[in-house]
Amino acid sequence: MTDAILLAYKDVENSMERFTLLLQGHVETMGAAPSHNPDQVFRLSQGSKAMRDSAMIYLSYAKYVAYGMPETEDLVQDELQG
């Protein structure tokens, strides 16, 4: 693929990682505060996990495309190291 597509993929990957880490931190902060509704904390915790899992699925295909749809994962790793 083009360098622009690869760069865009890396931007999305970094953004999703940052988002999920910040969201998980927010859940932990809410859970530690006695003033927050436990049901709301639980729902946000479950949503945070679903968001992380969905991002991983999305990013796995985006990575595959960004690296030119290689035949094997080893070729993707070769690209990452090269």
Q: pLDDT by residue (tens digit) across 29-53?
A: 988 988 888 999 999 999 999 999 9
**3-state SS record for the chain:** CCHHHHHHHHHHHHHHHHHHHHHHHHHHHHHHCCCCCHHHHHHHHHHHHHHHHHHHHHHHHHHHHHCCCCCCHHHHHHHHHC
Q: In terms of pTM, does the model score above 0.75?
A: no
